[in-house]
Amino acid sequence: NGIPACAHQFLLETIARESFHLNGFVVSDCGAIGNILYTHHYTSTVEDTVAVALHAGTDLECGVFYLFHLYDALNSKKIVETDIDQSLMRTLDVLIRLGWFDPPEQQIYRQLNKNNVDTLEARQLSLISAQESIVLLKNVDQALPLNINLLKNKKIALIGPTADATVTMQGIYHGQAPFLIDPVTGFKNLTAGNFINIEHARGCEISSHNEKDFAAAIELARSSDIVFFFGGIDHTIEHEGVDRKSIDLPDIQLTLIKQLEKVARSPLHVVIMSGGGVDLSYIRDSTQCASLLWIGYPGQSGGLGVATVVFGQYNPAGRLPVTIYPASYVDEVSMFDMQMRSSANNPGRTYKFYTGKAVYEFGYGLSYTTFNYTWNNNTIVSL
């Protein structure tokens, strides 16, 4: 409502501290204090900027604006020492409660080191996290899971720009992974010893207009018994600081999918890797696409997670964490319109207020299990 969040006393004091009983400190997003002056132009001097943020209740900053200009504000009497003391006490109080100043031998977290990071339990959790987040969006006539025992001497083609994705699987903020199991490796590892031929062709890049690799991908699809297309988007299209101009699946991928449909011996299986929603209406409606999986950015064991779902070693139960809108949605809503509810110029946002027809709704997801819900003495029973 016209006030930057870090300068919003009603938000931080009245709502957070008084109404929600926040018993801690408030820290800004990185660079947000400087944004009050340089981006939002809410203030005109560095001293006023420090004062308005500190008085609003922003106790700590991710950045250096306070570091460079706090003394200037104090010297110009825009703030007083008690303002600084209040934020300091809130911050130190939390550190004391967390045991920051306790003797090391009394604080178990200080005894952890790098050997406690990449453990067997952590690796197992990585795989479980990937498996639990996979969403089955389409599965015509139980096309999945594939029965690994019936695939001896069969060829499975993994085609597309995310079939061999590694770093992309980690999202935009990540540490140094001990390993990265891409889908191709996951499929090969899971089928090892079963005499199943797993082959890969990239086919195209995430987003380009170059079809030079189409021929190899199409030839592989023509000679394979089962074809998977791995597509989606990556950090070149979506990351912090970059606004997407389209929520379509990139044209190059859709073009390749349509050509693969023409030569594949059986309907395609499609796997989409993305963080935000991508219009998947063509895949949803195509009679030549048998299944559709959305896997987000599944982490270091993502490729193995997908393989366990495809071959029935894990029963998918993930649900969409986003609403997938039709591509036309970006033409209906201005990115500068922050209203959630629908209006004459806005069809509404999210599953709560969107009045249009979603491609896939928030919370949607299938399973290999068929559920039947009945009422029994006011209790829902699922079979």
- Establish whether 93 is a catalytic residue: no
Q: Which long-range contacts (CB under 8 A, 24 or more apart) does 209-215 make?
A: 209/251, 209/252, 210/252, 211/252, 211/255, 211/256, 214/256, 214/259
Q: Which of 29, 85, 251, 285 is catalytic?
A: 29
Rounded Cα distance, 348 and 338, in Å: 10
The sign of the CA dihedral 295, 301, 303, 308 is: negative
For 242, phi then psi, to 5°, come to: -125, 125
Q: Could you tell me the two tokens for 308? A: 């366990």
Rounded Cα distance, 15 and 158, in Å: 52
Contact 298, 134 (CB under 8 A): yes
Cis amide prior to 145 (ω within 30 degrees): yes
Q: Could you tell me the two tokens for 298? A: 């599944």
Catalytic residue positions, numbered = 29
